[in-house]
Amino acid sequence: MNNTLGEKKNRGFKTKTTILIVCFIVVFFGSFMLGRYSIMPDELLRILLSKVFDIQQTWPDAAETVVFQVRLPRVMAAGMVGAALAVAGVCYQGMFQNPMVSPGILGASSGAGCGAALAILLGASYYTISLVAFIFGLGAVMLAYMISRMSKINPVLAMVLAGMLISSLFSSGTSFIKLVADTESALPAITYWLMGSLVSIQPPDVRFAAGPMLAGFIPLILLRWRINLLTVGEEEALSMGVDTTKLRLVVIVCATLLTSISVSISGVIGWVGLVIPHFCRMIFGYDYRRLIPVNMLFGATFLIVVDNVARLATTAEIPIGILTSFIGAPIFVYLIMTGGAIRGD
């Protein structure tokens, strides 16, 4: 009976995962055809294959430029950021045993935002802004972790409180920078960056983000079965021979890398790390061996779709952070009304 039930669940998971993979592929390649400059499916196929096979050019140079220099880096960045935020969110939620936790819980988003605002105020270049935001994001979480380690209270609670403290400090710093920023140039740039957007993404941004994201993804994927043990509680995990302190540190470092590098290239995009893990738990269950891979796919698909809406809905592009807030707020209300229980039947 149990074997039959297990096989049925496995078949159901494989079916759902296959559908999710197909959706991702359709959304990813479909995004290349959407935009002010329209590209037909057959034309897109020839342009993409021309980089692998010797195909005679029958398309205008402008079409190839749009595909490889404009849409490819943007679609890839949307997928990478969506996957990173979703995985960071689900890992933090498992570690803190609370599905209402988001990737910014330890101050990574606030720190990165403050760093970017400071760099914009000082007139730094676009790539310097991304680098400073990344460093500040990492630094914020390091401060929160150091404070929590010095606390005498429960380590999980100490990290949450330290994260709230650091987030508040860096948010105050961002507010002060906006107060003294030039209202004609720096302030609008800071405000727009903080709303989140992928409009300025270039191929070097994708290369810049690829390394830290891989460094964050790989350990979490390899250790995803151990993250299951963090969800059962401190004492239970210790009784099973798991060094929760080291495991929690690895999760924090990897999730922070994913969050900080995402914010550094896209600005602050909220709700993805809260909403997507919740959807994945409802559809795929609570096993982190499955949750982390499907969160990568679901998060990537979701943010690519939202970015397509952001760039096509109006003549003036809508900051992507605004759209994710419109979607995430009703889900958060639902979580509050249902109690946000992390475990289902």
For each of the chain's 345 residues, which pLDDT tens digit applies?
556 656 777 888 889 999 999 999 999 999 999 888 888 888 999 998 888 888 888 888 888 899 999 999 999 999 999 999 999 999 999 888 887 788 888 999 999 999 999 999 999 988 899 999 999 999 999 999 999 888 888 877 888 899 999 999 999 999 999 999 998 889 999 999 999 989 889 899 999 999 999 999 999 999 888 888 877 766 676 677 777 788 888 999 999 999 999 999 999 998 899 889 988 988 898 889 999 999 999 999 999 999 999 988 877 788 898 899 888 788 777 766 775 544 443
Q: How far apart are CA 199 and CA 208, in angstroms?
A: 16
Handedness of CA 16, 79, 301, 83 (dihedral sign): positive
Token couple for 299: 């998060």
Q: Which residue, among 117, 264, 137, has the nearest Cα to 178 in the 3D structure?
A: 117
Specify the CATH number for 73-338; select among 1.10.3720.10, 1.20.140.10, 1.20.1070.10, 1.10.3470.10: 1.10.3470.10
Token couple for 114: 């403050």
Token couple for 333: 């209300």
pLDDT at position 335, please? 66
pLDDT at position 230, please? 77
Q: How far apart are CA 80 and CA 145, in angstroms?
A: 26
Q: How far apart are CA 166 and CA 106, in angstroms?
A: 7
Give, for 235, the enclosing helix (H) or strand (E).
Answer: helix 234-239
The vertex-271 CA angle with 268 and 277, nearest 5°, equals 130
Q: How far apart are CA 23 and CA 172, in angstroms?
A: 41
Q: Which residue, among 190, 63, 187, has the nearest Cα to 116 in the 3D structure?
A: 190
| Residues 43 and 63 sit within 8 Å (Cβ to Cβ) | yes
Per domain, the residue ranges of the chain are: 73-338
Count of CB atoms within 10 A of residue 279's CB?
16
Count of CB atoms within 10 A of residue 342's CB?
18
pLDDT at position 77, please? 96
Model pTM greater than 0.85? yes
| Residues 334 and 325 sit within 8 Å (Cβ to Cβ) | no
